[in-house]
Chain A
Amino acid sequence: MKRPTRIDAEEKLVLTANCLLDGHIVWLDQEGRWCSSIAHAAMFEPDTIDAALEKAKAHAQLDEVVGIYDVVVRPGPPLRPVSVRENIRAFGPTVHPQFSKEIER
């Protein structure tokens, strides 16, 4: 899944996954919990991301998440992923505004 993306100086990394039970997209927050809003995602520097990824993967089954990987973001506010793909994951399909993550919550 992970796509190689160059990371610029002002950019950071966050961790994302899908919930095991319903497939919904989640982001790792500062307390190490998976939350549904990217706004609460914990930001990592490139030199700390691998350790965070390893740790999260080790807990994946207990946390009931699958497919953990890192995403490049611009800190904002608002915090937004750099790629179109990750923006769609973070904020919902562009073709069904009624399913946007903002409205879900």
Chain B
Amino acid sequence: MTRPTPRTPGAELPKHPTHLWNSPEPRRHYDVVVVGGGGHGLATAYYLVKNHGITDVAVIERGWLAGGNMARNTTIIRSNYLWDESSNFYDHALDLWEGLEDDLEYPILFSQRGVLNLAHTLQDVRDSRRRVEANRLNRVDAEWVDADGVKEICPIVNTSDDIRYPVLGATYQPSAGIAKHDYVAWGFARKAAEAGVHLIQDTQVTGFLTEGDRVTGVRTSRGDIGAGRVALAAAGRTATLTDELGIRIPIQSHPLQALVSELLEPVHPTVVMSNAVHVYVSQAHKGELVMGAGVDAFNGFGQRGPFHIIERQMAAAVELFPVFARAHLLRTWGGVVDVTPDASPIVGLTPYENLFLNCGWGTGGFKATPGIGDTFAHTVATGTPHPLVAPFALDRFVSGRLVDEHGAAAVAH
């Protein structure tokens, strides 16, 4: 097992870029219109160019580029999911992450520092060991470590047995890690814009133009824009759009909150997640402790959530990491995540021949970014679902072929 060595906070941060893309006037028509300029929309545009030579593409974003969940997530990347469908997909994404910096010719600070998913009860232990075995069968690097192993990997975890939810062990995926989310988005945006993709900000898609079973364009706050194909990557707001076409999708949008501490010396060498006590923690490159919680219970689009969730999350963090008790909370925020009944995404075709769906990533879609860009671009370009996303089609809710990942989602939802 390789042990990550702590580094000086901030040492590897590159300089802030001055100019990465232009803001063109929208044309009247594009081959492909991507709705949503988050990580998924930008990555899709990039792979449409790279793998399919399609450059007549617009990415339409209601706010600013990657200002949605892409700017709000806790940046954890891993592929230790339970079911074959998921681990195959996320492991493909992880492969792409490993080459992404070279591919984008842009720093993304992908740091493979490993992830520990803690087990606190006998049932957690059994589920975790089962997931490790399933991961290994899918050639995902995973191992079971006991409480002493946890302590060795991340010395600041409280492994004493007199806390309310003692740490009994953990799954460990050494190749998991974090990346700098903004840089990832900017890297994709820069390459896509260089190839001629129009990145159109401050423009909301409000509906569609249709003819029979085809979508012929999108209505936007800046007028109608024609489209040969429309790719949805609007995360929690997808149902608002598809409702208008009479396509129902089983999504509930929930607030998901996170927070950061002030900058600290390197104390936390890996990523630690606990499903049972609802906290996950890593230390950002500059030195902040970054923490997330489980989703807030109610539906919400406010990009904020109630304070008692933060309180609970901090209580759990301080119990697990007693050294955090002295850290100051700097900032809290919320995103709007799109939760499906089986905690897996919805990707693929719709009843409209040239309208494609990508949503339902809930609390875990950042790690998917290059993987979904690649496979969704394939789906849009060829009109056929990429084999890695085929199991995530909308019709699974009718066929009953669910990919129930609540256990491996690592965040309660």
Q: Do A and B bind?
A: no
- A residues adjacent to B (C-beta < 8 A): none
